[in-house]
Structure 1
Amino acid sequence: MAGHPERPIVEAPLYLLRRALQAYTSIWQTEVRDLTPPQYTVLRSLQEEPDLDQSTLGRRAGIDVATLTPLLDRLESRGFVEREVDPKNRRRKLLRLSKPGARLLDDIHPAVRQAEEHALAGLSPEERDTLTDMLQRVARQGAGGAAPSSSTKPETGTRFD
C-alpha cells in the first residue's frame, strides 16, 4: 500500500480526536443543554476578560468571525451578551457578559463539571492532566507553535454552534 500510512484508521490521531470530540459533544448536550460548547467558550472568555472587541474574542475563543457573528447575535438576543460602543474608538464595539449571562454560567457550572467528569471518567487525575497538557501542545502546534491566546489564529470551517 504505497502512499498509505501503516496504522489502521481507527488508531489515527485525527480520527481519535474527532471521535473524542463527538463523544464529548454528545455528553455536553445531555448534561448542559442550555448552551453549545462554542457559546459556553464565548461566555467564559467574556467572563474572564470583559470588554473585548469581536476580533479579539474570536481569537481568544478559537472561533472564526463567520461563525462568531451569528453566535454572538444569538447570545445577545437571549440577553447573555451586551455590546457597547468603545469610548476610545466609536467605530468599535466592545462585548461584555451581561448579568443574566453571568447567572447562567453560575447556574450551569455544576452541569459543565458533570459533563467533564463523565467525559473523562475513565482517566485518573494524572492522566487527565497529561491529556490536557498533550491537547494544549497539539493545539499550539496547529496554531503554528503559538500559545492559545489573542495571537492564535482560529480554525475556520469548524461550526457546531
Structure 2
Amino acid sequence: MDEFHRDLLFLLHDVARLLRVDADKRARLHGMTRAQWAILIWLERQPGISQKELSELLEVEPITVARLIDRLEARGMVERRPDPRDRRIWRLHLLRPARDVLHEIDQQRAEMTRLVTAGIGEESIESMIEALMRMKATLTQEAHASRRGAEHVDTETREAV
C-alpha cells in the first residue's frame, strides 16, 4: 500500500487536482471561476493574444474561451480588438478593472504557494521546481516530436493517395 501512496504520477495528479479544487474555491469567493482567473493571468503575460491561441494554452475549445471572454468583457475587464492584419482574428486586452482582480489573484496564488510549501525547506522547493521544469521540458519535447511524426505520416498518406 505504501508504494501506491508514493507513486510519482498519482502524487502529481492528486496535488494538481487538490490545487485546482482550492483555486476553484478561492475564485468563487470572489465571484469568478478558476478559468476566468486563468484567462486574466494569461492576458497579463501575453497581451494581445488571440482567442484561438488562448484556447490552445488553456486546452479548451475556442467556443469555451469565447464565452468566458464574453463574461469578462461584460464585467469591463477584457476587450476584443480586431487584428490589424486579419479581420477574422480578435486580439484580447486587459482593461483597468482587471488590474485589481489580478492583484487579488496574485495574493491568492502567494497564499496557495505558502500552503503547499509549508514545512518544506527552500533548498527542497528549489530542487522540486528544477525537477518539475525538467519533466515539463521532456514532455513538451515528446509532444512536439509526436506531433511532427504524425504530420510526417499524414503527409506520406496524402502523397500516397
- TM-score with structure 2 setting the length: 0.70
Unpaired runs of 5+ residues, structure 1, are 1-6, 148-161
Greater relative contact order (Cα < 8 A, sep 6+): 1
Map 1:107-146 → 2, pairs under 5 A: 107-145=104-142
In the TM superposition, what is the alpha-carbon distance from 1:88 to its structure 2 partner? 1.9
Q: What is the aligned-residue identity percentage?
A: 26
Contact 1:31 1:115 (8 Å CA) reproduced: no
Deviations 1:57-92 (A, max 9, x none): 334x44333553433333333332211111221111
Q: Which residue does the alignment assign to 2:81?
A: 84
Q: Which residue does the alignment assign to 2:61?
A: 65
In the TM superposition, what is the alpha-carbon distance from 1:37 to its structure 2 partner? 4.0
Unpaired runs of 5+ residues, structure 2, are 145-161
For the residues of structure 2 that align with 1:15 and 1:131, how far apart are their CA atoms?
16
Contact 2:36 2:72 (8 Å CA) reproduced: yes
In the TM superposition, what is the alpha-carbon distance from 1:36 to its structure 2 partner? 4.1
Aligned with residue 24 of structure 1, among 14, 19, 39: 19
Q: What letter is aligned with 2:104?
A: D
Map 1:49-64 → 2, pairs under 5 A: 49-59=46-56, 61-64=57-60
Q: Which residue does the alignment assign to 1:11?
A: 6
Deviations 1:29-69 (A, max 9, x none): 4555434444333212211221111222334x443335534
Larger Rg: 2
Q: Secondary structure at the residue paired with 1:16?
A: helix
Q: Secondary structure at the residue paired with 1:8?
A: helix
For the residues of structure 1 that align with 2:5 and 2:76, how far apart are their CA atoms?
42
In the superposition, relative to structure 1, how do residues 36 and 143 fare at CA in structure 2: closer, same or farther (>3 Å)?
A: farther
Q: Which residue does the alignment assign to 1:103?
A: 100
Structure with the largest fraction of helix: 2
Contact 1:79 1:100 (8 Å CA) reproduced: yes
